[in-house]
Structure 1
Amino acid sequence: MTDYDALTAGVTARLRQVRARIADAELAAGRPAGSVRLLLATKTVPTPLIRAAIDAGADLIGENRVQELVAKGPELADVPVGIHLIGHLQGNKVNPALKWASCVESVDSPEIAARLAERSADAGRVLDVLVQVNVSGEETKFGVLPAQAHEIAAGIASLPGLRLRGFMTIGHNSADPGLVRAGYGLLRDLRDGVVGSGAPGTAAATDLSMGMSGDLELAIAEGATIVRIGTAVFGARPT
């Protein structure tokens, strides 16, 4: 077996393990099987390993950096995979991001939403977006404050060129599972309030993208519909 074969075999095996974790978490939470989508976070992951995961059935990946999104997009254009932008988006990177992203999960200001809406409308498309919410209040994290989330989400939902699909967050950086889970519960409650508000364009904003390799079970227990998994499938990233 070559080194490449060993690497791809490892990715395939770990992907099975993560799917089993998701299935077990769905069952433990009393949720229907298949109600949680697996997004593979592919920051720094070379395209051949991403392709190995796609060959093993992965159908959704997420890139943190627009530069990587642009570099990998053409190399993955021939495979049936959704590509989400899950990292912070600067205004000057909107055009290249739109070329390859099927969804932007990290909309964190009315200004970036307006720019995405304008460019999407100009291109004759409707872009799926999630509002990123900083549920932990940590200064190192991007996202709107929870108190602002409802108003900002309603404004985004009204913009032509965008389709509000839900909310995203990065959990508390804490070893306390209760604290982490409470943050995810807060995002679920915010989502429920927006969806139930009756504001135009909010009824389908049901997605909750939350939970990563170390805490996916907590996120699923609180209603995650998308979990973003990187190291549990691809291994530790280079430092």
Structure 2
Amino acid sequence: MPDQSTPSTPQHPATGPGSVAARLTVVRDRIAAAAVAAGRDPGDVRLLVATKTQPPQAVLEALAAGVDLIGENRVQELVAKAPAVADRLAAGTLEVHMIGHLQRNKINQVLATATGLETLDSLDLAQAISDRCVRDGRTGDRALDVMVQVNVTGEESKSGIAPDDAGALATSVAALPGLRLTGFMTIGAHLDSSAEHRVRAGFARLRAVRDEVLASSAPGTESAGELSMGMTGDLELAIAEGATIVRVGTAVFGPRGTVPAPVRRE
């Protein structure tokens, strides 16, 4: 009998209007349509479901609907939800990315669960994570997937390194043991307060950073092709500019604070 303290993955997720499964279908359709409109293969764009503020049961409902990549903004939430997804992680059928700012004193907690980190923005942080990975024997095929976060808007409220400095940081990160540089991440300008062309320009700038790093052929940069950019409100613009991962939370779970419908159990 399963441990009642840890929710197990629902075998029969709710599928009615407003359910997580129904919302996921809409999001996936949006991604596919945006890719086709950009002349791209929809299979080249992955959906990362952002689980900020969501309870473990809502996350499990998303997994039951086929989600295999989730992202967490806060370390404490990552730790709290770890038991609920432990089986999927152990089986290798789920990736968990840290997509929020990481402080050095939280590294150990993140590495206990996360399979990837999208928010590297300094060499000091990268070195500290590398040291811990090496100490844990997490090297070679077990290296941690990491992305460099780039602040393409220049807004002080957003984390990330400046685009002009991102290439140098990326090549330095790529050379560190225990880390595998997989690409770049950014948070775009708010579409509500910016014209579409400004939002797209930011995404295009990240693509240019990525292309420059790949073209450098610096050691360890050959796998740095990912572009994690675009969220609920601007995923179409991001896909048009080459996003390979879009991070969506609100469109999957509803506005923050909304409690998903209970999951049927049979």
Q: Which residue of 210, 214, 219 maps to 1:191?
A: 210
Q: Which amino acid aligns with 1:22?
A: I
Matched residue, 2:67: 58
* TM-score, with structure 1 as normaliser: 0.96
Structure-2 separation of matches of 1:117 and 1:36: 28
Structure-2 separation of matches of 1:142 and 1:132: 7
SS in 1 for 2:218: coil
Q: Cα–Cα, structure 1 residues 155 and 146, in superposed 2: closer, same or farther, change >3 Å?
A: same
SS in 2 for 1:223: coil
* TM-score, with structure 2 as normaliser: 0.86
Q: Which residue of 17, 35, 43 maps to 2:26?
A: 17
Matched residue, 1:37: 46
Matches within 5 A, 1:103-122: 103-122=116-135
Q: Provide structure 1 residue ranges, at least 5 long, that are not aligned to the other structure.
A: none
Runs of 4+ residues deviating >2 angstroms: 4-9
Q: What's the offset of the Cα at 1:81?
A: 1.5
Q: What's the offset of the Cα at 1:124?
A: 1.1
Matches within 5 A, 1:49-88: 49-79=58-88, 80-88=93-101
**1:38-75 deviations in Å (ceiling 9; x for gaps):** 00000011111111111111000000001111111111
Structure-1 separation of matches of 2:54 and 2:227: 24
SS in 2 for 1:73: helix
Q: Which amino acid aligns with 2:65?
A: A
Matched residue, 2:264: none
After TM superposition, the structure 1 stretch with the greater mean CA deviation from structure 2, 185-194 or 7-16, is: 7-16
Q: What's the offset of the Cα at 1:9?
A: 5.9
SS in 2 for 1:78: helix
Matched residue, 2:4: none
Is the 1:8–1:52 Cα contact (8 Å) retained in structure 2? no
1:163 aligns with 2:180: yes
1:230 aligns with 2:224: no
Matches within 5 A, 1:129-144: 129-144=146-161
1:47 aligns with 2:56: yes
- The structure whose Rg is larger is 2
SS in 2 for 1:34: helix
Q: What's the offset of the Cα at 1:33?
A: 2.5
Q: Which amino acid aligns with 1:103?
A: G
SS in 2 for 1:68: helix
User: What's the RMSD between the two structures over aligned residues?
Assistant: 1.5
